[in-house]
Amino acid sequence: MSFWGPDPDETVVMPALPTKIRSHRRNRRRPFRNMPEAYQPPLSDGPVRKAVRAVGEVFITFGLVVLLFAGYEVYGKQLIIGHQQDKYAQQLDKAWAAPPKKAEDSPPLPGEALARLYIPRFNIKLIVVEGVSPQDIMNAPGHYPNSAMPGQIGNFSVAGHREDAIFPRNFDKLQMGDDIIVQTRTTWFIYKAYQQEIVKPTQVDVVNPVPDQPVGAKPTKALLTLTTCNPWWDNYQRLIYHGKLVRQQPSSEGKPKELGG
């Protein structure tokens, strides 16, 4: 090797780094994520912690039950009522298509379809059945057996549950003068609401032949009375609507103008 550099036939090799420096750089490159985490022993469950956990589980379960019940009340019942209403409609269509077996003003057996009820303000279209027992009115409004038939002089009285699929929660918003329409085999009867009452459940004279009068009072008009629970989702009162017959037309003439047809 000359003073001016290596000879052409000599190989130049970079000198190795000192051991300490190489070790320092290797340690500096070590990623922290590869370092083991500190060991932490699990916390033991004491009686207080167990009690809190148990109470929390109970509340979660209770909340789920409440949500399921609310869903059933809002949607499940509507589906069930709608399905049963379809069955009543088929029953009524079949009965009306056959030759009449009895007079128009003769009621069917309890629980059987009687007529159609329309209330345009709420887009209500329901089948009314005969009878007001809990079984009769489970999925339909029911006709009080001792009250008049549709269109007759007297008081055609109907009871129904206060739920969206029958008489909705905002049923108290029915206005005086609103149409309440009943269809039988041969006739459309158009009533107009003229009075609202909120009474105790014991005030049954609202469905008498002359509403709010003794049973012996003689009727001179064809009236209609609708009864339901009040307030919504409770039953310590009754919401009552009275309507009077203003006109009628044969079913053969098609839908009345009050239904837009």
User: Where do runs of H (alpha helix) occur along 114-177?
Assistant: none
Phi and psi torsions of 245, nearest 5°: -70, 125
- Nearest one of 159, 190, 166, 164 to 177, comparing CA atoms: 190
**Strand (E) positions, the chain?**
113-119, 124-130, 142-143, 154-159, 179-183, 187-199, 222-230, 237-250
143 is catalytic: no
Set 24, 83, 143, 229: catalytic member: 229
- Nearest one of 176, 100, 150, 92 to 126, comparing CA atoms: 92
Task: Give the span between the Cα atoms of 198 and 201, in whole angstroms.
Answer: 9
**What's the one-letter identity of residue 169?**
R
Set 24, 143, 161, 242: catalytic member: 161
- Nearest one of 104, 122, 258 to 192, comparing CA atoms: 258
Active site residues: 161, 229
